Structure 1
């Protein structure tokens, strides 16, 4: 056994892939599970579950305990106001960092943030991700920490991008960004491998790293559509969605959310994120530090995500 990792977000799309990868690498994974979350994604694994919430200091104490490493992957991605994101994306980071820094010796701390943190003025979500990073840095030299900022992460089990990708596979592609907009992407297994390589590197340098799939200059919406066209073997109809129409849809969705009582994904803030022209990043610095390089290219990753071919089991890819 390599050691103990305290993990949050293990019941989610990204966190469950990271948890499974860590178990396969020989780590003892102790994960926080918050009601009413389900552990079904990790059924049959050796993950040890700690029942609790980020507001319950006792459960956080049990989670961090004697851990060698803390990996905070949990986060809120749906909401309207900054308050909707603050608890999971800011307060939880601050509490976990404080607990970790009070240990002797203190565990290493890895925060899975988001590339959105690079542009905090775009949306409440982006602002909360940046504030979470700042909360971590406030522990100063009492803790060794690293922040990873992945771009759009996709893969089997993803609930955010998959509806759009399936629509493209059926032959219709909404185009919401400008013709010059470009963005990076990352397959979920590659993100999990980036975490493993960080652990192996024993890096003690406090800094922020941006990650992507290694495609120079990122992608345009056209390139994504063209990739899906190759996968389906025929063309896809592109439907450009004007900014005012997208804004109206976001306003109506936000209104419905406030009446019915759910946290929406499509908001005015999300529209500003979608229409931002530059979500491109570069792996070169992280490669030098952690000796990590992504292995899944876009077409291969979309094939797995859309169920057109089976994804290799985590840990078996060369």
Structure 2
């Protein structure tokens, strides 16, 4: 794809580099002075963007040769690849557990590799809620069991938003139009983090000598997370010049009905739905508040992007935020 020169910069291998979080990580890693070797799935007509210090490796997590090429000369593997869609446990475990195992084995075969960072999910804290959540916890356990000589850590971000995100963007766009679709009672609390802050946390971890085997939660520093009143109040000021935003509550019974139809359709037609019964349990769970205190103490990292600023930037109201110190 693009030429790669050994210019003395440390090399980081990255999976999931074409996704929302992975793309931000790749950009921030290069800005921070790392060379990146990034895995991508080739397909007809796909042309990967070129950048100084970026080397694309064609393949996937089931391809030992591609993983070996990905790891060549890399000191660290950041495993960001993951599946958020699936019809059953096997669909999620294939990527979120077995993919971790494959990545760890590839890292162990590369003599230069010393560290492994897993980008997990806050959902792993509640593995009983869904196949997705369970698969993320099993991925963490697989890493812990197989890491061997690697110094490793896992990061559990909460809901991540920012430019390029397709999951939360419709919600924010609805708010800009004056309507917020809220699943269930809307009584829960939750944490958020802007993708630039997540990327800066990864950069900080790379430069810190943290204890191996740690699992860290992250958040944007907003104490006790958010409730919907706070989010909608901020969104009204940022997106609507103070005009109110109407709540459109979607009853759990309706969500479960749609999820059941999706599950049946997945069995009949073989597609991977987003809204499943497990996902309904996830999005109506009342406590998704995370606490980054342990990570801050271990690394010195601090989030810098407030929800107000991050929301404005995500909807194109302000210039892009880096999440990195000046």
User: What band does the TM-score fall into relative to the shorter chain?
Assistant: over 0.9
| 2:166 aligned residue (159, 172, 195) | 159
Cα distance, 1:36 vs. partner? 3.3
Q: Matches of 2:280 and 2:227 in 1, distance apart?
A: 16
Aligned residue number for residue 3 of structure 2: none
Deviates more, 1:180-189 or 1:244-253: 244-253
Deviation for aligned residue 1:141: 4.1
Q: 2:319 aligns with which of 301, 310, 313?
A: 310
SS of the residue aligned with 2:93? helix
Q: Quote how far apart the aligned CAs of 1:288 are.
A: 1.0
Matched, 1:6 2:13: yes
Counterpart-to-counterpart distance in 1, 2:323 and 2:305: 13
Match of 2:256 in 1: 247
Residue 208 in structure 1 maps to residue 215 in structure 2: yes
Please give the alpha-carbon distance, in whole angstroms, between the structure 2 residues aligned to 1:150 and 1:10.
17
Q: Which residue of structure 1 lines up, in the alignment, with residue 305 of structure 2?
A: 296
Q: How far apart are 1:157 and its partner, in Å?
A: 0.5
Distance 1:39 1:135 in 2: 33
Match of 1:271 among 269, 280, 289: 280
Gaps of 5+ in 1: none
Contact 1:177/1:276 (8 A) holds in 2: no
The Cα of 1:230 is off from its aligned counterpart by 1.1
Q: CA deviation at 1:259?
A: 4.4
Q: 1:276 is paired with a residue of what secondary structure?
A: coil
How far does residue 103 in structure 1 lie from its aligned partner after superposition?
3.8
Instruction: Measure how far apart 1:35 and its partner are.
Output: 2.7
Conserved 8 A contact 1:177-1:277:
no
Matches within 5 A, 1:1-318: 1-36=8-43, 42-104=49-111, 106-139=113-146, 141-231=148-238, 232-233=240-241, 234-312=243-321, 314=322, 318=326
Check 1:159–1:123 CA distance in 2 against 1; reply closer, same or farther (3 A cut). Answer: same
Following superposition, the deviation at residue 99 of structure 1 comes to 2.4
Given that 1:117 and 1:130 are in contact with CA atoms closer than 8 Å, whether structure 2 keeps it comes out as yes
- Contact kept in structure 2, 1:17 and 1:189, CA below 8 Å: yes
Distance in 2 between the 1:259 and 1:80 partners?
11
For 2:288 and 2:324, how far apart are their aligned partners in 1?
A: 30
Q: Which moved more, 1:7-16 or 1:247-256?
A: 247-256
Equivalent residues of 1:50, 1:63 under 8 A apart: yes
Shift of residue 85 of structure 1? 1.1
Q: How many equivalent pairs are there? A: 316
Q: Which ranges of structure 2 fall in alignment gaps of 5 or more residues? A: 1-7
CA drift of 1:7 comes to: 0.5
Q: Report how far residue 194 of structure 1 moved.
A: 0.3
TM-score calculated relative to the size of structure 2 = 0.91
Distance in 2, matches of 1:309 and 1:299, equals: 11
Deviation at 1:249, TM superposition (A): 2.0
> TM-score, normalised on structure 1?
0.94
Query: How far, CA to CA, are the matches of 1:172 and 1:201 in structure 2?
Result: 43
Measured after TM superposition, the shift of residue 257 of structure 1 is 4.1
SS at structure 1 position matched to 2:14: strand
